[in-house]
Amino acid sequence: MPSAAGTTTDDPARPADAPARVWPRTAALVLLGWLLLAWDVFAAGINTAPFFGDIPSRDRYAESGAVLLTAMVPVLLLGAIGLLSRCRFGLLFLAVPAAVVGALGADMAGSPGDPADPDPRRPFAVADLVADLTRPNWVVAAVILLALTAVVARRVRQSGSRPDPQAGQGRDVG
């Protein structure tokens, strides 16, 4: 309940009309993005690990590169949610690792495979972007897209319900 001084009883140092804190949302978005990137780096690393001296095939390099490249979709959606939630510089803690993972994915997608394979230089295909390892990224992207839609709908609802601050004050706007 607001007191006479305009502060809330929850935090007496913060005025009732002060904007909400943004850092918890930024921290949650960055942590979620880091977890996603860590999972994708782990999956790509295991997929191309040279166990027992084995050289990974071109298919494995292409699939691992696609995993890292498709990880950019949910990370970009998380960034969009962050920007709509007034997160600014804290998103750099997510953007920099995402750029590194994207560069690593592009490098893996272009890496040749084992020369003993039938097609060690096959081109990177669109079908690589929907391989088995990339499906979790697409599912996470769909969930984050739903969350982004909810954030946008909430902002539209809030902006439509607020009264115009210039209306009724006798000011000439034009």
**pLDDT given at position 12:** 63
Inform me whether the pLDDT recorded for 7 exceeds 50.
no
42: amino acid identity, one letter: F
Better-predicted residue by pLDDT, 35 or 115: 35
The string of pLDDT tens digits covering residues 117-172 is 888 778 888 999 998 999 999 999 999 999 999 999 998 888 876 555 665 555 55
Average pLDDT over residues 76-105: 93
